[in-house]
Each structure stands twice: as structure tokens, then as C-alpha cells.
């Protein structure tokens, strides 16, 4: 049994690679209590134990949690938002591929519960977002922007959600609407992103390379500690970063 000061939380997509890394790091954090490991109904792992809790396919078991970290699927997230709304449970959502309509669902839900949503939970990548926004806003039109992203061969979407988000940042700051994104799927690359600002006189590169999935897991746990203190609202990792600096 955990202490009353611990954050009782659950992970959706608990048996996936990210879910397992989140649970592994959380097990070493005395401020956290792992209370729910959630998977989709029919998952072969339901009923087995992971990090001391039995894997469940019942989303209604979010009831009583301090927060839910969701790294499941688009369909799963939409179902879990409904359950978290019913039981007033804060959420951290770290999946990619959500459409503008899906984000509107999150925005509506965030009028009643707090949600942190980011296509990339890495603190380092979110600093890159800020640097790219600064560069795109300050550099003159002579600089053309291109991007390269590389991930493992198992990744289904290309370009990555992070690359698309970076492109959106650039488009919001500049007149350049067409941004070339080179997507590489090779080996077991965890995640590399590079944004290049090219002029006739110089080249500026802003890049990030993930060494381990733990950077995403650590970011998700920081987002959990942030969101459980909020009453409602839709937040990003940039909001989490601001509080980390204090």
C-alpha cells in the first residue's frame, strides 16, 4: 500500500514498449503509486501481473485514480477520455496521429478535467520546439526550411507526428508553406529530428537525437506530476517545462 501523499496513477497501453518504460521508472519513484495497468479488451496480457498490478481491460477502473497516462491508440484515447470525464481523472496523452477533430474532443473534455497533450513527451524535444519557433520567427525570408526525421522500421506513420508539429510551428511563423520533410525508417532508431534553415550565406541546424525511450517516459511522468495539480484545461509540454524551471 502506498502513502496518502503518493500519486495513484494508471497507464493505458501498459504492456507496450512505452508503457513498460513508464511503469519501470515509476516503480523507482517514491512519489508515485502504480494503481492500474490498462490494455484494450481482448489483449492476451489481460489478467497477468506487471509491476505488481493485474493488467485490466476495463476502462472504468480509472475511477479513484489521481491521473492516467495514455500511450494506447487513437481509438483507445477517445474511449479513455470518456471514462476519465465520468470519473474526473486528469490525463496525460502522448500518442501521435490525432486529427484536428480528435483534438477538439480533448479540448471539450479539458473544460472539465485537466489534460496534458503532446505529440512528443521528451523535455529535450519540447525545448527544440521552442528553439525552432524562435528561429522561424526571427530569421529573414532568405532562409528556406527543410527537415529530416529518422525512426525504427516498426513505426507506422511517416513523417512522424513530431516532424509534422515542427512543420506547423514553422508555417505559423513564416510565409513558407511547403516544407520538405525527409522520413527515414531504418533499424531500431528511437527518434532523430533535424530542422535546417538554409540561406545563400550560411546553414543553421537544430537537432535532437533520442538515445533511449526513457526520455519520453520521464517526460510523461513529469507531465503527470504537473497535471494532477490542475483543476481543468488543455496543456502542452511547454506548460510543464515552465513549471519545471521554477
Active site residue 155: yes
Q: How far apart are CA 197 and CA 203, in angstroms?
A: 6
Beta bridge partners, 137, equal none
Active site residue 154: no
Q: How far apart are CA 121 and CA 6, in angstroms?
A: 22
Q: How far apart are CA 62 and CA 18, in angstroms?
A: 19
Catalytically annotated residue among 59, 151, 164, 225: 151
Catalytically annotated residue among 17, 87, 88, 155: 155
Residues catalogued as catalytic: 151, 155
Amino acid at each position: 500500500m502506498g502513502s496518502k501523499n503518493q500519486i495513484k496513477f494508471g497507464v493505458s497501453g501498459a504492456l507496450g514498449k512505452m508503457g513498460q518504460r513508464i511503469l519501470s521508472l515509476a516503480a523507482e519513484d517514491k512519489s508515485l503509486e502504480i494503481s492500474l495497468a490498462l490494455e484494450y479488451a481482448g489483449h492476451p496480457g489481460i489478467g497477468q501481473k506487471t509491476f505488481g498490478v493485474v493488467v485490466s481491460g476495463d476502462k472504468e477502473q480509472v475511477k479513484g485514480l489521481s491521473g492516467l497516462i495514455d500511450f494506447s491508440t487513437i481509438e483507445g484515447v477517445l474511449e479513455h477520455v470518456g471514462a476519465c470525464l465520468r470519473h474526473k481523472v486528469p490525463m496525460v496523452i502522448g500518442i501521435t496521429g490525432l486529427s484536428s477533430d480528435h483534438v477538439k474532443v480533448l479540448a471539450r473534455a479539458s473544460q472539465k478535467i485537466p489534460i496534458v497533450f503532446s505529440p512528443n513527451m521528451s523535455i529535450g524535444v519540447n525545448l527544440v520546439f521552442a528553439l525552432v519557433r524562435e528561429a522561424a520567427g526571427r530569421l529573414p525570408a532568405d532562409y528556406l526550411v527543410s527537415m529530416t526525421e529518422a525512426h525504427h522500421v516498426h513505426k507506422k506513420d511517416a513523417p512522424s507526428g513530431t516532424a509534422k508539429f515542427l512543420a506547423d510551428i514553422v508555417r505559423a511563423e513564416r510565409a513558407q508553406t511547403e516544407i520538405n520533410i525527409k522520413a527515414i525508417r531504418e533499424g531500431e532508431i528511437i527518434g532523430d529530428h533535424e530542422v535546417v534553415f538554409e540561406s545563400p550565406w550560411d546553414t543553421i541546424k537544430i537537432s535532437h537525437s533520442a538515445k533511449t525511450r526513457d526520455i519520453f517516459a520521464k517526460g510523461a511522468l513529469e507531465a503527470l506530476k504537473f497535471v494532477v495539480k490542475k483543476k481543468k484545461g488543455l496543456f502542452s509540454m511547454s506548460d510543464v517545462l515552465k513549471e519545471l524551471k521554477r
